Amino acid sequence: MLEDKNQKKTSIAELGEFGLIEHLTKDIQITQESTIKSIGDDAAVLDFNNKKVVVSTDLLIEGVHFDLAYMPLKHLGYKAVVVNISDICAMNATATQITVSIAVSNRFPLEALEEFYEGVKFAAKTYNVDIVGGDTTSSQKGLVISITAIGESNLDDITYRSGAQPTDLLVVTGDVGAAYMGLQVLEREKQVFQVNPNNQPDLEQYSYLIERQLKPEARKDIKELLSKLEVKPTSMIDISDGLSSEVLHICKQSSVGCNLYEDKIPADPQLINVCEEFNIDITTIALSGGEDYELLFTIKMEDFDKIKANPNFSIIGHMVEEKEGVHLITRANTKIKLKARGWNALSED
Minimum distance, C-beta of residue 207 to its own copies, in the bound complex (Å) = 29
Q: Is 156 annotated as a binding residue?
A: no
Is 14 annotated in a binding site? The answer is no
Assign 311 to helix, strand or coil.
coil
CA distance to 89, 233, 261, per residue, from 306 (Å): 20, 12, 20
Among 12, 20, 90, 226, contact with its own copies (rule: CB under 8 A)? 90
Give the nearest distance from C-beta 19 to its own copies in angstroms. Answer: 10
- Report the alpha-carbon distance of residue 278 to residue 202 in Å, rounded: 16
CA dist list (Å): 57 to 43, 83, 113, 172: 17, 10, 21, 23
- Nearer of residues 62 and 175 to its own copies, judged by Cβ: 62
Q: How far is the CB of 8 from its own copies (least distance, A)?
A: 26
Q: Note whether 9 and 111 are within 8 A (CB).
A: yes
Nearest to 349 by CA among 249, 257, 252, 275: 257
Residue 110 dihedral angles phi and psi, to the nearest 5°: -55, -40
- Distance of alpha carbon 74 from its chain centroid, rounded? 16
Q: Which stretch binds its own copies (CB under 8 A): 5-13, 23-31, 127-135, 164-172?
A: 127-135
- Report CA 341 to chain centroid distance, whole Å: 17
Nearer to its own copies, 36 or 272 (CB): 36
Among 20, 24, 39, 65, binds its own copies (CB under 8 A): 65
- Residue 207 contacts its own copies per CB under 8 A: no
d(CA 258, CA 319): 4
Specify the DSSP element, H or E, that contains 97.
Answer: strand 94-104
In the complex, minimum distance from the CB of residue 73 to its own copies, in angstroms, rounded to a whole number: 18
Give 278's DSSP letter: H
In angstroms, rounded to a whole number, what is the distance separating the alpha carbons of residues 337 and 345?
9
Residues 136-165 that bind its own copies (CB under 8 A): 137-142, 144, 146, 148-151, 155, 158, 160-162
Interface of this chain with its own copies, residues 212 to 271, rule: CB under 8 A: 236-238, 253
Pairwise CA distance, residues 32 & 234, whole Å = 29
Question: Does the annotation list 241 as a binding residue?
Answer: yes
CA distance 276 to 204: 17
Smaller CB separation from its own copies, 49 or 279 = 49
> Is residue 177 near its own copies by the rule CB under 8 A?
no
Compute how many residues bind its own copies; rule: CB under 8 A.
61
Please check whether residue 110 is in contact with residue 20, taking contact to mean a CB–CB distance below 8 angstroms. Answer: yes
Q: Does 102 bind its own copies (CB under 8 A)?
A: yes
Residue list for the binding site: 42, 56-58, 65, 87, 117, 134-135, 161, 238, 240-241, 291, 343
Residue list for the binding site for ATP: 117, 134-135, 161, 240
Which residues contact its own copies (rule: CB under 8 A)? 36-37, 40-50, 52-59, 61-65, 87-88, 90-91, 93, 97, 99, 101-103, 132-135, 137-142, 144, 146, 148-151, 155, 158, 160-162, 236-238, 253
